[in-house]
Chain A
Amino acid sequence: MSEFKQTFNSSLGKKLIMALTGLFLCTFLIVHLGGNLLLFRNDDGFGFNLYANFLTHFPPIEVIAYLLYLSILVHALYALILTIKNRKSRPVSYATVNKSPATWSSKNMGLLGSILFLFIVIHMSDFWFAYKYSHKIVYKEYRTDLATDKTTSVAYNPVTPDFEKSVSVENNVEIVRVKDLHARVANSFSNLLYVIFYVIAMFAVSFHLLHGFQSAFRTLGWVHRKYTPIVYAIGTWLFAVIIPIGFAAMPVVYYLQSIGK
């Protein structure tokens, strides 16, 4: 046990924890973006609400979700521990600005990470917490005519708002009643300040991962002439461009739709 502790208390051990939790969070982003693309379906949130319901009620996903929350906390905690140690390693700072060439993002991971942590706290309290632990989320009823496959939606006010989802079939019409997270998303994204905050946070994601993704591979020791260019390409194009743009598009599109109404 002491050898185990010694390994993870070493400088490289702490970096290993940062790299592994960071990469795990990266994989989550892909899944999160993929699922949330349902927001772009023009179905009044039918697909998105069912997806939100599935995520919160499928046990394997719940296990992974708690691993995810743990990873966020461990990643932030170790970043803090490492930063304090790094500051202590240079008690007297230079008078001149360090002109050593290094990318802006690599020098500002702590700032970017702090923005992201603030974002995650606000994001989770507004959606995840509100969805799971409050009665702030209203319900919606989707009626699908099984003959024509047309879906219509109406607001639904249950007598006791303590169920998550109900499915019933009456007169060849499938009635799905589910918590309407979509309405909360649309409502939040009609607030300009909220949209700006989300877009700034996605810039932070972009620059954090522009350095972080490839840096994690370096820390793990997985650097090779053959595949390092691929790691850089994925880190740049997928994690620093496509994913942040995909996420930022959601508040922007919903805001534009809200002013069009």
Chain B
Amino acid sequence: MKLKKENSVKRNRKEKPGTEPDEKWVLRLYVAGQTPKAITAFTNLKKICEEQLDGKYSIEVIDLLINPQLGGEDQIFALPTLVRKLPVPVRKIIGDLSDTERVLVGLNLLPER
């Protein structure tokens, strides 16, 4: 049930030139257990990050079933939720991140149509 391997902080520190130089992205993905939606979200997120951020990012997966007290901190109510902690402002993207375009808009990686 538990998504233990994802609960640890995953970092990818390949120093590749990115779209926004010298900026490190801190992302948090909130899930509750290893649900299909959670897995889909994580897979989609990895893919987008690899494509767009070129390694200058970190993804922290928080399982609220294990650490329920963390839900309040980022005002989580829907799951899965991706929170962009850095760069500010904080953005929230809910859902399994299957709509790539909307994820990019949400992360401010695309100029809004």
A and B, one complex?
no
Chain A interfacial positions (CB closer than 8 Å to B):
none
Chain B interfacial positions (CB closer than 8 Å to A):
none
